[in-house]
Structure 1
Amino acid sequence: MPDRQTTASITEFAVSDAEAGPYGVTTGPDGALWFTAVHAGRIGRLALDGEVTSYALPSATGGPSVITAGPDGALWFTEFQGHRIGRITTAGEVTSFTLPTPGAGPFGIAVGADGALWFTESGADRIGRITTDGEVTEFPLPLTGAFASAIAAGSDDRLWFTLNQADAIGAITLDGEVTVHPLPTPGAAPVGVTAGGDGALWFVEIGAGRIGRITTDGRIDEFPLPDPECRPHAVVDGADGSCWFTEWGANRVGRIGHETHEIQEYDLPTPSSEPHGIALGPDGAVWTALETGSLARVEVHD
């Protein structure tokens, strides 16, 4: 089936200078967009009226990466270079939790069905769990050098994560039992993953230019993008029966239908803006963090 022709209204909101590096983005419990500034060591907030607030972290070199809304009304984030998990209230109060494993390299983070935050340890081949009062548990993976990346809560109460260097998708139960599903495409290098509204997990293959789908019983489908060099990076479930993703190498965002598997792509207005994280905003639009210093709001007209 040929892809439908749709148009999108894209508005960019400057939230930092070009050196700060907006990277991860999520919707906060206060109805604002919260984002990480990976190079500046800051957490930012963008209200829907355009007001920007920025909060410094204790270390400017921690490399805050992925951010998510926690079950406690605060935002939780990973510090990839600082080997910490951070928490920030909507009033800007920051707490940091140093991980017990040196060089852990936490990257992805998501809320589990048990009300704890689960995260990947890219540098230590582990999956971590932290309660809202800061208690950390770590679970080893059955692979070495796999570079666990993004993580998402599945419809089966397991946490699903990408293994970037192992070309695989993993799942972990709340008790720490790990299952690994190798991908059919060599060099897929999956990064982002999200729970789809269809009950499956959707992921992006940055190395192969594909979107992947895996059911909770392990069946995998892959969908090639028109440009195999587009470098898809992050993915989120939308409110329109689609999953949305960033194309870091092609300066675009795209979407793929849960049922139709139709793909639409939309060019970002600023050249080489480096789209990374992507989130469903409080206004129903899709928002993406542009490392060159902005958040972009994408609204599609079908």
Structure 2
Amino acid sequence: MTPPVIEEYVVSRRGSGPYAIITGPDSALWFTMVHRGRIGRLIPGQEPMVHQLDADSGPTVICNGPDGALWFTEYRAHRIGRITPVGRITEFAPPTAECGPFGIAAGPDGALWFTETAADRIGRITVDGTVTEYLLPRAGAFPSAIAAAGDAMWFTMNQANAIGRIGMDGRVTVHDLPTEAAAPVGIAVGPDGSVWFTEIAAGQIGRVAPDGRITEYPLPDRSARPHAVTIDAYGRPWFTEWGANRVGYIDTDGTVTVHALPTPASEPHGITMGPDGALWAALETGVLARIASTRSLA
């Protein structure tokens, strides 16, 4: 098996914390810098651009909005942010104070849906800034990442050891995980409607099939701390191993393959498909890693 070619692009100094990453509507890579209060933008081959927020705002997850802008959560400032491709920033405060927004994703209804880790709520914000909040049926659930699938949003309940589903009417369904204390974090949806998620404490990748059946895939290194997950052009889930300095994927037959990153202790977090057809990961060392995504890896 031929390993992927992994290239590293320095976008900030060490410790700035590149955390989440997405390909924006302008075909550039956009990423959060959680420890510096910044939103970064990179066109591969060019110098990165940086947009400054409050230094201690803690921008975490970023996504594409239905309005041609990018939307992001400010975990420490308890706000939802919006940034246009030219860098104009608007910020909104949810009704619940100190709610700890973390995950965010565009929904099928033309709004943005986000998790409130400290308030056991799922929030919905329209593009004009109107926020609605939905209380979860479990206390202390620590809802984390969120993704759209069909006519609903799916999210990880990190401390409740479950995956949640919320319909556009606000009705919540909870799916308990087979493994105790798995602590799910990242989540993504495949082309067949399967919901993939990482189990950071169990060292596994999970899948909720369209029929609701849950399958878990143990990683070769159960202490790897898988964090984020995305879907590549072939429908395979790729994930970061935050605690083991690796990225990996699961093939259609359930085989798990992992690859080491070039720089030791780089702490990979977010991962996404890039504008160039490669996978890109955000490394807390101030680097974005480009991982060749070819069918030869299958």
Normalised to the residue count of structure 2, the TM-score between the two structures is: 0.97
Q: Does the alignment pair 1:288 with 2:284?
A: no
Q: Is the 8 A contact 1:66 1:109 kept in 2?
A: yes
1:184 aligns with one of 178, 181, 185: 178
- Per mean C-alpha deviation after superposition, the further-off stretch among 259-268 and 285-294 is 259-268
The CA distance in 1 between the partners of 2:21 and 2:233, in whole Å, is 17
1:146 to 141, 147, 155: 141
Aligned to 1:236: 230
Q: Confirm or deny that 1:81 pairs with 2:76.
A: yes
Q: Does 1:193 align with 2:169?
A: no
CA distance in 1, matches of 2:6, 2:15: 22
Counterpart-to-counterpart distance in 2, 1:295 and 1:240: 22
Give the counterpart of 1:279 among 265, 272, 280: 272
Structure 1 unaligned residues grouped into runs of 5+: none
Q: Does 1:119 align with 2:114?
A: yes
Matched-pair contact (CA < 8 Å) for 2:238–2:249: yes
Distance 1:127 1:111 in 2: 13
1:265 to partner: Cα distance: 0.8
- 2:260 alignment partner in structure 1: 267
How far off is 1:277 after superposition?
Answer: 0.5
Aligned to 2:130: 135
Q: Deviations over 1:224-243 (max 9, x none)?
A: 00000000000001102311
How far, CA to CA, are the matches of 1:19 and 1:252 in structure 2? 19
Task: Letter of the 2:6 partner, please give it.
Answer: I
Check conservation: 2:279, 2:293, Cα contact below 8 A: no
Q: Distance in 2 between matches of 1:113 and 1:43?
A: 25
Shift of 1:14: 0.4
Counterpart among 81, 89, 106 of residue 94 in structure 1: 89
Q: What residue in structure 1 maps to residue 212 of structure 2?
A: 218
> In 2, Cα distance between the equivalents of 1:70 and 1:266?
32
Q: How much does 1:300 deviate?
A: 4.1
Q: Where in structure 1 do 4 or more consecutive aligned residues deviate above 6 Å? A: none
Match of 2:4 in 1: 8
Report matched runs for 1:32-71 at 5 Å. 32-57=28-53, 59-71=54-66
SS of residue paired to 1:169: strand
Q: Is residue 177–residue 214 contact of structure 2 (8 Å, CA) maintained in 1?
A: yes
Question: Could you tell me whether the CA contact under 8 Å between 1:253 and 1:267 is conserved in 2?
Answer: yes
Give the count of matched residue pairs: 295
**Which ranges in structure 2 are unaligned for 5 or more consecutive residues?**
none
RMSD: 0.9
Q: Give the drift of 1:103.
A: 1.4
- Which amino acid letter does the alignment assign opposite residue 234 of structure 2? D
SS in 2 for 1:143: coil
Structure 1 residue 197, shift from structure 2 partner: 1.8
